Structure 1
Amino acid sequence: MESNYIYLLIEDNVIDQLVTKQLFKKILDVSEITVVNNGREGLQWLNDHRNLINQPLIILLDIQMPEMNGTEFLKEYENLPEELKRETQIFMLTSSLDSEETNRLKDNSYVTGFLSKPFPAKEFEQILLQNPSLENNPK
């Protein structure tokens, strides 16, 4: 699958980072994925790199992280300039899709969807292939 996206994984767990990177490479044939350890590092990466990227960005955002979790990241993300947020999709990563926090995040306009952990690469591939709004008209 040829990728038209840049990927940013915001995840504190090293095992989940390695597994996700391997699944991206093996199943999605994507060898480049930027990994940062928490929401604060994710915001810094966006500020430092987003204007240099001419492709849509997909952020895979863990909900539970130390220093700055996914919910806190989204609050700060909202304040970023629109040009940094343009053509960006955010998928939340969670161990449990039934948590109270997940239910609160479902109403966040920046959240495109939710994915369970470990990263469901085949499911994500189908989302990319079948969702016209992701393929042809990113947020």
Structure 2
Amino acid sequence: MDLSLIVIDESDLDCFIAQKIIQHTYKNSVVKLYHNPQTAFDAIRAKSVGISLPAIIFLDLQMPIMNGFAFLDAFEKLADEITRQYKIFILSSTRNNSDISKGLSYKTVSGIIEKPLTKEKLQDIMPQHEVQ
């Protein structure tokens, strides 16, 4: 299965782990890493992410400057022709029920995955969220 994925997380370690798990699980995957959600948003808005679409986004919630919620607020204001090219999964270590509920309230969020990303968690979401 060829997959295009974007990981948005300020943590180098979390990005590294996610990238390795994805590439190990899906050999033909292309993973784009963003440590700054504003940079990721700007690339998505400008249609210049540098990977083929559609794509899956793994988004951390707790980041400085622009957190995951601010990213989602901005993302959901983009044109449907852009947003429908992406499936967003929150990838977070939060156990805060308020954050989880808020994250799931966004129409563009397909689910929440608790860090760290594992092969099993990745495989669990892929069958039901097949990228067409």
Equivalent residue in structure 1 for 2:54, among 49, 56, 73 = 56
Rate the CA distance shift 1:65–1:30 in 2: closer, same or farther, 3 A: farther
For residue 15 of structure 1, what is the aligned residue in structure 2? Answer: 13
Q: How many Å apart are 1:49 and its aligned residue?
A: 3.1
Structure 1 stretches (4+) deviating beyond 6 angstroms? Answer: none
Rate the CA distance shift 1:35–1:120 in 2: closer, same or farther, 3 A: same
For residue 46 of structure 1, what is the aligned residue in structure 2? Answer: 44
Letter in 2 for 1:14: D
Give me the CA root mean square deviation. Answer: 2.1
Separation of aligned partners in 2, 1:58 and 1:136: 8
Higher helix share: 1
Gaps of 5+ in 2: none
Query: What's the % identity of the aligned pairs?
Result: 24
Separation of aligned partners in 2, 1:89 and 1:114: 12
1:12-56 alpha-carbon deviations (Å, 9 max, x no partner): 000001111111121232452001112211111202335976531
Q: How many Å apart are 1:103 and its aligned residue?
A: 1.6
For residue 81 of structure 2, what is the aligned residue in structure 1? Answer: 83
Letter in 1 for 2:59: L
Where 2:21 maps in the other structure, the secondary structure is helix
TM-score by length of 2: 0.87
Separation of aligned partners in 1, 2:85 and 2:98: 28
Separation of aligned partners in 2, 1:71 and 1:77: 10
For residue 28 of structure 1, what is the aligned residue in structure 2? Answer: 26
* 1:120 lines up with 2:118 in the alignment: yes
Letter in 1 for 2:82: L
For residue 90 of structure 2, what is the aligned residue in structure 1? Answer: 92
**Range with bigger deviation, 118-127 or 14-23:** 118-127
For residue 130 of structure 2, what is the aligned residue in structure 1? Answer: 135
Where 1:33 maps in the other structure, the secondary structure is strand
